[in-house]
Structure 1
Amino acid sequence: MESYKISGKGKGKDALGQVDIVALYQGQKFHGIGLSTDIIESSALALVHVMNHINLSKEVAQKKKQHLKTAQV
């Protein structure tokens, strides 16, 4: 994890906590955001968001590799 930031949106008991995470994975930066009235939930949502971006990146790389193999044949 390269960066973890917490900020508040709104006031009072219904205020939302926003968590922004920047993670470095295999030389690439991935950003995730979580928003909830519970800061722990916001953190978990941001982390899941980052992991989803990493997984999507892996899938795209795999499809590009498959596409290049079929284009060479």
Structure 2
Amino acid sequence: MGTETYRTENALDSYVHRHGGDCNASTDMEQTMFQFNVQDGFLEKALAIFSRFFKEPLLMEDAIVRE
């Protein structure tokens, strides 16, 4: 799922991996869980990217179907 600011579907995952971290997410019928870690100095930008999922989501049909 992309956002208006970060239009690519894996922007957070790509950023976190480039800066020595990991991402994981899971979805079931009642909840969605997200977690990530990133090296010191890169958390603020990672949180900025992550927060856009809630502020300006792009609900792309193919991404929704996959979930």
TM over 0.5: no
Question: Which protein has the bigger strand share?
Answer: 1
TM-score, L = length of structure 1: 0.26
Higher RCO (CA < 8 A, seq sep 6+):
2
**Over alpha carbons, which structure has the higher Rg?**
1
TM-score, L = length of structure 2: 0.28
Question: Which protein has the bigger helix share?
Answer: 1
